[in-house]
């Protein structure tokens, strides 16, 4: 059933509010033979790792077609473009030349470049289980900032270290495919340490507008039973507080610090280097109950029976083609909850990702989704939450990690045979909505 297209004008946002769209390097660039290998190249080549058997060898071929994509950004009328820089490409001869060209094209089009330094495509020779990778990341950040910092004024260190830890190192569903469960905690710590070291490196290079993009969503207990409430609290700790508390409070949630490697107290001083804003990727809330002693099939994942919680399907809400519940009001709840937890330690917030998977070019469901979430964001502003920007995921359909090309999150349709780009109905809706905000 096609959702009814939203027709009421969006509420007005404050002057200077940043409107943008997001992508990531591995998901759109292609041209894998023109860069060093990443952990995702090896993972995608493994049997059964990608559901449709595909790889990102070509993806959207953004590496060669970026002028066309910059034109789409200009036509959309966004203020900013959040893309990621491929660390393996930067490690290759001439790799930074591509980002030089991209940044120049964005600036010429009047679109602010907002690069993310790490969006999961780790160089193949590195491992987040090793502390040295955090040091290497800071060195890489210095190189990139030294080359692009004269034009790039807004930076993101990491994207979703929670998902990269959970999916890539605890459950093995993403690259590098490790199944360490709770032994993956050093990966979380070393990514957070890398973030803090990169903040210092960017500051040393003259940057003064730096954030991180963490994924967050409300955790709802399946009932008010003590065992469900405690399980939900533990899940919330793992997916939310474990990654926000060190950055914003300079401490791990109770009981976590002693599980981390190295001189944790000293590392936390680095991790908590002040950021200028805090990025939140929001997609859905999660309902969690007490463990049931059985494997859990959830959102395309098989969660092992030994986890101390059960993730449940959230009933009573429409779902995307990915099966994710559509709950705009949970975005307001999330932001209000952040203010309650972190108070004046919470800097201005930017929604660095929000989007949905729907098929088709006449994607009225995506319009309804975006309309509802932008209104939910405005309600948070009305409640005094200092939100400075909103980025839609994603500019175009792309390689959706372990899902391959089966999930389409884009405002622009990509024909993967011809690589032709076709703006969807949602692209036109957002273009018109942004014109009304001027």
Active site amino acids? 160, 353
CB 288 within 8 A of CB 235: yes
Give CA angle at 112 (404, 430), nearest 5°: 60
Residues near 97 by beta carbon (within 8 Å), at least 6 away in sequence: none
Per DSSP, what are the bridge partners of residue 69?
none
State the Cα–Cα distance between residues 408 and 84, nearest whole angstrom.
19
Residues near 201 by beta carbon (within 8 Å), at least 6 away in sequence: 138, 139, 141, 142, 145
Tokens for 233, please give them: 């609290």
CB 118 within 8 A of CB 137: yes
Residue with tokens 């309650």: 340
Long-range contacts of 336-340 (CB under 8 A, 24+ apart): 336/380, 336/383, 336/385, 337/218, 338/216, 338/244, 338/280, 338/385, 339/384, 339/385
């Amino acid at each position: 059933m096609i959702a009814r297209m939203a027709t009421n004008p969006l509420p007005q946002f404050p002057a200077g509010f940043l409107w943008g769209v997001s992508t990531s390097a591995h998901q759109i660039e292609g041209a894998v033979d023109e860069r060093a290998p990443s952990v995702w190249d090896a993972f995608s080549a493994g049997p059964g790792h990608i559901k449709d058997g595909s790889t990102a060898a070509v993806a959207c071929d953004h590496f060669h077609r970026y002028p066309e994509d910059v034109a789409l950004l200009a036509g959309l009328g966004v203020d900013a473009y959040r893309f990621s820089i491929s660390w393996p490409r930067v490690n290759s001869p001439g790799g930074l030349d591509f980002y030089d060209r991209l940044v120049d094209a964005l600036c010429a089009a009047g679109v602010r470049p907002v690069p993310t330094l790490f969006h999961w495509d780790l160089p193949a020779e590195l491992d987040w289980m090793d502390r040295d990778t955090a040091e290497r990341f800071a060195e890489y950040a210095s190189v990139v900032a030294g080359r692009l910092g004269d034009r790039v004024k807004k930076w993101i260190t990491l994207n979703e270290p929670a998902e990269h830890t959970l999916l890539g190192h605890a459950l093995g569903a993403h690259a590098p495919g490790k199944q360490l469960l709770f032994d993956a905690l050093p990966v979380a710590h070393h990514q957070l340490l890398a973030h803090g070291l990169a903040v210092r490196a960017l500051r040393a290079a003259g940057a003064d507008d730096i954030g991180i993009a963490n994924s967050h969503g409300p955790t709802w207990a399946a009932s008010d039973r003590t065992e469900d409430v405690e399980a939900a609290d533990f899940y919330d700790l793992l997916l939310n507080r474990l990654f926000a508390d060190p950055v914003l409070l300079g401490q791990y949630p109770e009981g976590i610090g002693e599980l981390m490697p190295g001189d944790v107290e000293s590392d936390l001083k680095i991790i908590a280097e002040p950021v200028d804003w805090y990025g939140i990727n929001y997609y859905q809330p999660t309902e969690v109950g007490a463990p049931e002693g059985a494997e859990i099939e959830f959102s395309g994942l098989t969660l092992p029976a030994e986890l101390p919680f059960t993730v449940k399907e959230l009933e009573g809400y429409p779902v995307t083609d990915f099966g994710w519940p559509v709950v705009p009001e949970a975005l307001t709840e999330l932001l209000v909850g952040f203010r309650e937890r972190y108070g004046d330690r919470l800097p201005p917030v930017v929604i660095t990702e929000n989007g949905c998977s729907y098929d088709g070019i006449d994607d009225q469901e995506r319009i309804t989704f975006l309309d509802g979430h932008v209104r939910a964001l405005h309600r948070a502003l009305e409640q005094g939450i200092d939100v400075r920007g909103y980025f839609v995921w994603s500019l175009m359909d792309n390689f959706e990690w372990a899902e391959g090309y089966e999930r389409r999150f884009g405002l622009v349709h990509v024909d993967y045979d011809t690589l032709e780009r076709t703006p969807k109905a949602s692209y036109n809706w957002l273009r018109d909505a942004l014109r009304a905000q001027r």
